Structure 1
Amino acid sequence: MISSSNWLLWALLSAVFAAMTAIFAKIGIQGVDSDLATLVRTGFIVVILSLFVVMAGKWTNPLNLSGKTWVFLGLSGLATGASWVCYFRALQIGDASKVAPVDKLSLVLVAIFAFAFLGERPIAREWAGIALVAAGVVLLALKR
């Protein structure tokens, strides 16, 4: 069983599933409007995650969550939805091997936003890695 406290393993699994998402989505959106495809995908996510939460015994009344939690989870949901709409549109018109890495520019933005808003302070080595990711995105995005 996977330890629930091993963040690196969970992050690597997230990367694997994100990669599979890009490939499956690229195949699935052929001949389908990208916004409709996003809606269908979201429906699957709602059903599967709902089953997981209930079957894992993690269901609690969401109305008991704080107002702050509702606001920030709502904002996160809006950002996720906007990201998915943009991602599927980009996948529909671009190569998955280029779209997905450019989408991961979010890694650079997360580091910058976490520095600015959460007080996180990456060390020089970590900033160097973040800069390399940014440089890789630029190289991928450049026209031939």
Structure 2
Amino acid sequence: MKSIIGSWFFWALLSAAFAALTAIFAKVGIENVNSDFATLVRTIVILATAGAIVWATGHWQDPSGVSGKTWVFLVLSGAATGASWICYFRALKLGEAARVAPIDKLSVVFVSLFAVMFLGERLALPNWLGVVMIACGAVLIAYRA
């Protein structure tokens, strides 16, 4: 049996916890600064942290050994991440964290749709039901009565 640290679920759960902390820390952190500047600071910290992890774990790879297709999609992923962060921090600057974060998590719905449309992945009826429930839940959490 796989150890818990080797499971995708463990790392996905940690990702969710850190994403939640991101919203809380960011909401406090952007109080008196421009949201784009805050995103730049966050990006620098992420770059330094990722660099330290790659160095400490010995996972550096020779960039010339990476295929052109991989580079294109990593760059596109980075651009999408940057755009997402810019939009997320701007939304946090303008709105409440408890309402912004659930709408941001509609990305789960979009990933499901895009994975089916572009990656050929298949979702069963219970999976689609979950996608609909996530969408409805995000809207309900963000709704202001």
SS at structure 2 position matched to 1:3: helix
Report % sequence identity.
Answer: 57
Pair 1:98 & 2:99 matched: yes
Q: Which residue of 2 aligns with 1:124?
A: 125
Deviations 1:29-88 (A, max 9, x none): 011000000000000000011011011010111222000000000000000000000000
Give the TM-score taking structure 2 as reference length: 0.94
SS in 1 for 2:120: coil
Where in structure 2 are the equivalents of 1:28-39 lying within 5 Å? 28-39=29-40
Q: Is the CA contact (8 Å cut-off) linking 2:102 and 2:142 kept in structure 1? A: no
Return the letter of the residue paired with 2:118. F
* Counterpart for residue 9 of structure 2: 8
SS of the residue corresponding to residue 5 of structure 2 reads coil
- SS of the residue corresponding to residue 123 of structure 2 reads coil
Alignment correspondent of 2:116: 115
Query: What is residue 72 of structure 2 aligned with on the other side?
Result: 71
1:30 partner amino acid: E
Number of aligned residue pairs: give it.
143
C-alpha distance in 2 between matches for 1:71 and 1:58: 21
Query: Take 1:55 and 1:141, find their aligned partners in 2: how far apart are those partners?
Result: 40
Q: Which runs of 5+ in 2 are unaligned?
A: none
Corresponding letter in the other structure for 1:22: A
Aligned equivalents of 1:142, 1:17: Cα separation in 2: 24
CA distance in 2, matches of 1:79, 1:63: 23
Cα root mean square deviation, aligned: 1.2
> Distance in 2 between the 1:143 and 1:55 partners?
46
Specify the alignment match of 1:136 in structure 2: 137
3-state SS, counterpart of residue 88 of structure 1: helix
Q: TM-score, normalised by structure 1?
A: 0.95
Task: Report the Cα offset of residue 139 of structure 1.
Answer: 2.0
The Cα shift of 1:143 comes to 4.1
